[in-house]
Chain A
């Protein structure tokens, strides 16, 4: 088990390194001139050249890349002379826009995105699994059909549409909720949750619909398995058959998808954060991309990739716990 874990962690590191290299190549090599972006529109060519030297852009690409990766673990000094910037570990460079360390920007924004993702995940898991389970057990009834029609509609609506509709109804018409304005949890859980409820509901309505459909399909397939018939033949209560024998198997494919979805959202739900103006990593990404702030883009890409690969690893470990066949393999 330990060896397996170490091997998997090494693989995660490898994936991150490749993603880092590709991102680096795309954002540092392809575009016209990062130095010009960094310096601003009023810079003279001499100033741009100075910035370029300071940023190390005049050196070969592999050297730049090596410096970048090394900086993450050891920190580094950007530029030299009086303009030199000390960049402490973990160094992801400085934002072109406001000269703040990328790492600080990320850690500032991360709690917002994590709050958004985790809260929504709780809502959509609870809602999606419950609806899917009920629909599967009442398969073919009017209830099943209505639930499935509702989930289909909910899954087909674009996030921004759902967001605006909820905003219109719950905030403007009924005035039940405040307009979302992020408050850290340190200011009290009520303020934190109250302000995030609307974004949570927006994201959850989309994901819960998908999870309900998945759960239903998975549950129906599982309940047709011969071992379910065995469980019934043993005289177990139907409740036990459904939960202990059925649901446990039916949830395994859902674990995989949940890991991927959560991993993707932890580093920012770009559209949701954009619509509600939440100051999370997603919004940071959006701003950085349109301002061509490459160190920040590189930073958020790595962060997102980190969460995705970590979530995949988590899924595999959970799998080994759930399914003994994986454990021995």
Chain B
């Protein structure tokens, strides 16, 4: 009896229910009963489907994201959308962009595609790079660990936003999406690296690792087959929480004018544009903001729920 009594009681009670089930299964059961997780999942699903089905959805509407609709804006008033709420109506479901009459719904739908693609890809690169470095540093230790840890500390000392802005502003504009993914990952991988390194250190000398080593397993095999599965939970949680952070970063960079280039739509860029018009066409500013807000919120809900569900102490935090 080492722990606080309530926790002990909870563990004792949980014991029969838990018996014979994998941690993944337990986490799944917990998530299924968590309304916040389900809400997050529902919103995420809506946006992911929207992004995947962008051409289809824009087709329903009948307006391409790049098509100008001069008839929807009031040229005499400097391009203010005709009608209330930024021109929302049967023709343009979420109104039109002031100044050129582009369809907001189509741009939001395609913007979801760009925003999610960049955020997910940047997260994937970040997590892969960070995991690789963290595993190597934690497993081999010694001089390798010292060097890698120093590099991580150094990268984390960089003023990342300034650097990202500067790099993106001078970089040639051939493939903005790839460029954004790489530059965003460049400054975030050490955060994963540190977590993975710490976790690796903590399992490196556990029995199953020693057993594998005694049985003649080699470094890469031990790293990928024995250690990685045992530290997957924190990596998964970090991944889920990094996606909303990256969505925010991408939007911020586009907002500051160094993201994807027009006419490719992105939410941050629409918000930046909307800021100029928000006095006369507030909906044009609000709609991408709300989409961004909901996506970030949903991913955070999901990430929080996942962290609680994977917490061996029983979650519920």
Q: Do chains A and B touch in the complex (CB under 8 A)?
A: yes
Q: Say whether B159 contacts A26, CB under 8 Å.
A: no
Contacts A153-B297, A156-B293, A264-B161 known; 18 new A-B pairs at CB < 8 A: A19-B154, A26-B166, A26-B170, A152-B304, A157-B289, A158-B252, A158-B296, A160-B289, A161-B271, A161-B292, A161-B293, A224-B7, A289-B165, A289-B258, A297-B162, A300-B162, A301-B163, A305-B159
Q: Say whether B289 contacts A264, CB under 8 Å.
A: no
A-B complex: 3 closest residue pairs judged by Cβ atoms: A304-B159, A156-B297, A156-B296
* Interchain CB contact (< 8 A) of A161 among B158, B289, B317: B289
Q: Say whether B162 contacts A270, CB under 8 Å.
A: yes
A18 within 8 A of B: yes
Residues 268-283 of B contacting A (Cβ, < 8 Å): 271, 275, 278, 282
Known: A264-B159, A301-B166. A286 touches B256 (CB 8 A): yes
A82 within 8 A of B: no
B301 within 8 A of A: yes
In the complex, chain A residues whose CB is within 8 Å of the CB of B292: 158, 161
In the complex, chain B residues whose CB is within 8 Å of the CB of A305: 157-159
B257 within 8 A of A: yes
Residue in A closest to B289 when the chains form the complex, CB atoms? A161
* Interchain CB contact (< 8 A) of B169 among A18, A153, A290, A304: A290
In the complex, chain A residues whose CB is within 8 Å of the CB of B7: 224
**In the assembly, what is the distance between CA of A329 and CA of B257, in Å?**
47
Residues 21-53 of A contacting B (Cβ, < 8 Å): 22-23, 26-27, 30-31
Q: Say whether A220 contacts B275, CB under 8 Å.
A: no
Q: Say whether A312 contacts B157, CB under 8 Å.
A: yes
**B interface, how many residues as a size bin?**
35 or more
In the complex, chain A residues whose CB is within 8 Å of the CB of B162: 267-268, 270, 285, 289, 297, 300-301, 304
Q: Say whether B271 contacts A160, CB under 8 Å.
A: yes
A327 within 8 A of B: no
A229 within 8 A of B: yes
In the complex, chain B residues whose CB is within 8 Å of the CB of A156: 244, 293, 296-297, 300
A226 within 8 A of B: yes
**A interface, how many residues as a size bin?**
35 or more
Q: Say whether A285 contacts B165, CB under 8 Å.
A: yes
**In the assembly, what is the distance between CA of A133 and CA of B292, in Å?**
29
B167 within 8 A of A: yes
Residue in A closest to B257 when the chains form the complex, CB atoms? A290
Q: Say whether A301 contacts B293, CB under 8 Å.
A: no
A271 within 8 A of B: yes
In the complex, chain A residues whose CB is within 8 Å of the CB of B165: 270, 285-286, 289
**In the assembly, what is the distance between CA of A30 and CA of B275, in Å?**
33
Residues 142-178 of A contacting B (Cβ, < 8 Å): 152-153, 155-161, 164, 168
In the complex, chain B residues whose CB is within 8 Å of the CB of A270: 161-162, 165, 256
In the complex, chain A residues whose CB is within 8 Å of the CB of B158: 19, 22, 305, 308
B110 within 8 A of A: no
- Which A residues lie at the B interface, using CB under 8 A? 15, 18-19, 22-23, 26-27, 30-31, 140, 152-153, 155-161, 164, 168, 217, 220, 224, 226, 229, 264, 267-268, 270-271, 274-275, 285-286, 289-290, 292, 297, 300-301, 304-305, 308-309, 312
B98 within 8 A of A: no
- Which B residues lie at the A interface, using CB under 8 A? 4, 7, 153-154, 157-159, 161-163, 165-167, 169-170, 244, 248, 251-252, 255-258, 271, 275, 278, 282, 285, 289, 292-293, 296-297, 300-301, 304, 316-317
**In the assembly, what is the distance between CA of A15 and CA of B166, in Å?**
20
**In the assembly, what is the distance between CA of A220 and CA of B317, in Å?**
8
**In the assembly, what is the distance between CA of A230 and CA of B247, in Å?**
45
In the complex, chain A residues whose CB is within 8 Å of the CB of B275: 160, 164, 275
**In the assembly, what is the distance between CA of A98 and CA of B159, in Å?**
25
In the complex, chain B residues whose CB is within 8 Å of the CB of A160: 255, 271, 275, 289
Residue in B closest to A31 when the chains form the complex, CB atoms? B170
In the complex, chain A residues whose CB is within 8 Å of the CB of B301: 152
In the complex, chain A residues whose CB is within 8 Å of the CB of B4: 224, 226, 229
Q: Say whether A289 contacts B169, CB under 8 Å.
A: yes
Known: A155-B300, A156-B300. A19 touches B157 (CB 8 A): yes
In the complex, chain A residues whose CB is within 8 Å of the CB of B285: 164
Residue in A closest to B274 when the chains form the complex, CB atoms? A164
Show 27 A/B contacts (Cβ-Cβ < 8 Å), sorted by A: A19-B158, A26-B170, A31-B170, A156-B296, A158-B252, A158-B289, A158-B292, A158-B293, A160-B255, A160-B275, A160-B289, A164-B275, A164-B285, A164-B289, A270-B165, A270-B256, A271-B252, A271-B256, A286-B165, A286-B256, A289-B169, A289-B258, A290-B169, A304-B162, A308-B158, A308-B159, A309-B157
In the complex, chain A residues whose CB is within 8 Å of the CB of B316: 140
In the complex, chain A residues whose CB is within 8 Å of the CB of B258: 289
Residue in B closest to A221 when the chains form the complex, CB atoms? B317
A226 to chain B, nearest CB (A): 7
**In the assembly, what is the distance between CA of A297 and CA of B154, in Å?**
19
In the complex, chain B residues whose CB is within 8 Å of the CB of A27: 166, 170
**In the assembly, what is the distance between CA of A16 and CA of B166, in Å?**
18
Q: Say whether A30 contacts B300, CB under 8 Å.
A: no
Residue in B closest to A281 when the chains form the complex, CB atoms? B162
A222 to chain B, nearest CB (A): 12
Known: A15-B157, A160-B271, A301-B159. A292 touches B169 (CB 8 A): yes
In the complex, chain A residues whose CB is within 8 Å of the CB of B252: 158-159, 271
Q: Say whether B255 contacts A271, CB under 8 Å.
A: yes
